[in-house]
């Protein structure tokens, strides 16, 4: 970490010394233009961070930190196809998946559009053919149901986006998802389906992912037991680069769609990993989805830092995590169709920036990625908002809502919007003991009983939130929203000095599971295990 960055952190610490005793009530009372000063828009998309505990000087110093960390230079290196994933010696160019040939993206001197466009056209054509009933089973019957089998980045994004885009499904087949190696997931999903009209998509780049391949084999047996080995071959397609393995599984080459090592799993939704989404909503809507991504990509690439939405969102996160010391962030979309959005962003953020060493292998100098969690509003209000309003920890929130309803129930959307506005207001401004006392007394409350209740009904407020507002939930706006958070995660990784594009912690768990699996057999030698693991395995054998 350079001295310039150290100085930037020191200035921000001094800002917090100055601001931590100030209440958001005071900040708004003293600045009637706070919304205009601390919000930024891109067309219909607005990010309002006026309810964060910052002022103009703190924002300026956050931007100074971004420049000291060379966010702009690192951003340019990513878009140029440089190998910024240093531990794996790879480029990071998921932006090319939704780019146009005119963008000129290259990796190692090769024009990436020459790779991306043929695969994109092929899997979108396959998706439309499945929807139209042109891709059929061995008897020429159209598929009524499609099941995507994957895990992690091969599941979380498609699950989230397919649910979010349910309004745009039209006349296509039903699309389901199986990820958990727990056999109940596959069994429960297939329970009411007909194997004769079910198509499986096996999503695994290496075609060796343990959980995915176990589920794939079980799905294969389910179909084969019903219609036979040869007929079952028509019921499978794959997203993979391992043609040898997919061929051995029985999947025809023309039904295998690949992607590249410069596309990380958690950033792969706009690759052929999005095939299940494309089958759900069709190629036209999928291309609009890509357009939304590209719009945000171009904004991130070109906008000055002061107006750059991903940069501003990232810096607010830096302020929360490193200056205020908040360990978690709640993501609350006020849209039921975005109920899986926080789960999707958990992987994107926590797998990317959940790191304890820098790119150079040294211990990081600051806290890194926060815990990301959340649920859809208004459900969240009736589960964990009590803690957020009156608990002992400060939990910053990103609120999200559309101006237009996602259903025909307009009055219900008005109530949803009222709750969205009320929660950020209540968190920011709270309710003082004097306000509680006055209201209860004016309502005729007994003074003694009122005094006993005042502490319980007082809300401290001063709890930060950012509100994200856009016109409507469409393929385009969803793509733009996802890209907003992708680039936010990137900026934060640059500032923390970590490699946001590897995941060695995930790999360790896989290795250990492979080592332990044979030890679950009766009579296995457990002598080399620690006492806890050995004791648990022995208990498992007893309980079986």
Catalytic residue set: 351, 382, 510
Around Cβ 266, how many Cβ atoms within 10 Å? 26
For residues 399 and 468, the answer to whether their CB atoms sit within 8 Å is yes
Only one residue has tokens 């600045």, namely: 31
Name residue, tokens 């940069």: 311
Q: Which residues pair with 41 in a beta bridge?
A: 46
Neighbouring residues of 543: CB distance < 8 A, sequence distance ≥ 6? none
> What is the crossing angle of helices 56-68 and 3-19, to 10°?
160
Alpha carbon 412 to chain centroid, angstroms: 27
> What size, in residues, is the chain?
544
Q: How far apart are CA 400 and CA 337, in angstroms?
A: 12
- What the block records as the tokens of 260 is 């590249």
How far is 368 from 354, CA to CA, in rounded Å? 6
In terms of phi and psi (left: phi > 0; alpha: psi -120 to 50; beta: otherwise), the region of 332 is: beta
- 148: tokens are 């995507």
Alpha helices in 202-322 (DSSP H): 210-227, 229-232, 243-249, 275-281, 283-302, 309-318
**In degrees rounded to 5, what are phi and psi of residue 514?**
-65, -35
Question: H helices within 319-409, ranges in order?
Answer: 341-346, 352-353, 385-390
Beta strand pairing status for 110-111 and 328-333?
unpaired
Identify the DSSP state of 351.
Answer: I
CA-CA distance, 165 to 247, in Å (whole number)?
A: 32
Distance CA 116, CA 111 (A): 9
Could you give phi then psi for residue 45, rounded to 5 degrees? -90, 120
Terminal-to-terminal C-alpha distance of the chain: 54
| All residues at 6 or more sequence positions from 139 whose CB lies less than 8 Å from its CB, including other chains | 196, 231
Tokens of 145: 């149901």
């Amino acid at each position: 970490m350079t001295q310039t960055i150290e100085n930037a952190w020191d200035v921000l610490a001094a800002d917090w010394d100055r601001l931590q005793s100030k209440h958001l009530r005071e900040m708004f009372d003293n600045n009637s233009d706070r919304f205009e000063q601390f919000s930024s828009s891109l067309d219909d998309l607005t990010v309002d961070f006026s309810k964060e505990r910052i002022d103009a000087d703190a924002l300026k110093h956050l931007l100074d930190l971004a420049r000291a960390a060379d966010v702009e230079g690192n951003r340019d290196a990513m878009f140029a196809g440089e190998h910024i994933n240093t531990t794996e010696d790879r480029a990071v160019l998921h932006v090319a998946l939704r780019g146009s040939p005119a963008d000129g993206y290259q990796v190692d001197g090769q024009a990436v559009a020459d790779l991306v466009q043929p695969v994109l056209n092929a899997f979108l054509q396959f998706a439309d053919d499945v929807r139209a009933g042109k891709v059929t089973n061995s008897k020429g019957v159209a598929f009524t149901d499609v099941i995507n089998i994957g895990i992690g980045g091969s599941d979380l994004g498609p699950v989230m986006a397919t649910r979010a885009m349910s309004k745009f499904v039209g006349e296509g087949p039903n699309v389901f998802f199986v990820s958990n190696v727990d056999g109940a997931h596959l069994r429960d999903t297939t329970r009411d389906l007909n194997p004769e009209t079910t198509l499986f998509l096996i999503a695994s780049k290496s075609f060796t992912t343990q959980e995915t391949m176990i589920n794939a084999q079980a799905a294969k047996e389910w179909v084969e037991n019903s219609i036979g080995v040869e007929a079952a071959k028509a019921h499978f397609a794959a997203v993979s680069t391992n043609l040898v393995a997919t061929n051995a599984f029985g999947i025809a080459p023309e039904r295998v769609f690949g992607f590249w090592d410069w596309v990380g799993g958690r950033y792969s939704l706009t690759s052929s990993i999005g095939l299940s989404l494309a089958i759900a909503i069709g190629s036209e809507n999928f291309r609009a989805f890509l357009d939304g991504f590209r719009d945000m990509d171009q904004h991130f690439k070109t906008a000055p830092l002061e107006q750059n939405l991903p940069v501003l969102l990232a810096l607010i996160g830096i302020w929360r995590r490193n200056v205020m010391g908040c360990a978690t962030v709640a993501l609350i979309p006020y849209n039921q169709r975005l109920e899986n959005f926080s789960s999707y962003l958990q992987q994107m953020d926590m797998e990317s920036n959940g790191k304890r060493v820098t790119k150079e292998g040294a211990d990081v100098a600051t806290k890194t990625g926060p815990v990301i969690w959340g649920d859809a509003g208004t459900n969240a209000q009736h589960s964990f908002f009590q803690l957020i309003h009156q608990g002992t920890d400060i939990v910053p929130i990103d609120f999200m809502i559309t101006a237009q309803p996602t259903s025909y129930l307009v009055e219900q959307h008005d109530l949803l919007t009222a709750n969205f506005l009320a929660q950020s207001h209540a968190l920011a401004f709270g309710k003082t003991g004097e306000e509680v006392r006055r209201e209860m007394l004016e309502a005729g409350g007994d003074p003694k009983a009122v005094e006993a209740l005042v502490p319980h009904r007082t809300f401290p407020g001063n709890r930060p939130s950012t509100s994200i507002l856009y016109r409507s939930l469409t393929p385009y706006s969803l793509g733009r929203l996802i890209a907003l958070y992708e680039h936010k995660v990137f900026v934060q990784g640059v500032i923390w000095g970590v490699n946001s594009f590897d995941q060695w912690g995930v790999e360790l768990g896989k290795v250990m599971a492979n080592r332990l699996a044979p030890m679950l057999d009766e009579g296995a030698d457990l002598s080399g295990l620690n006492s806890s693991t050995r004791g648990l395995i022995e208990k498992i054998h007893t309980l079986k």
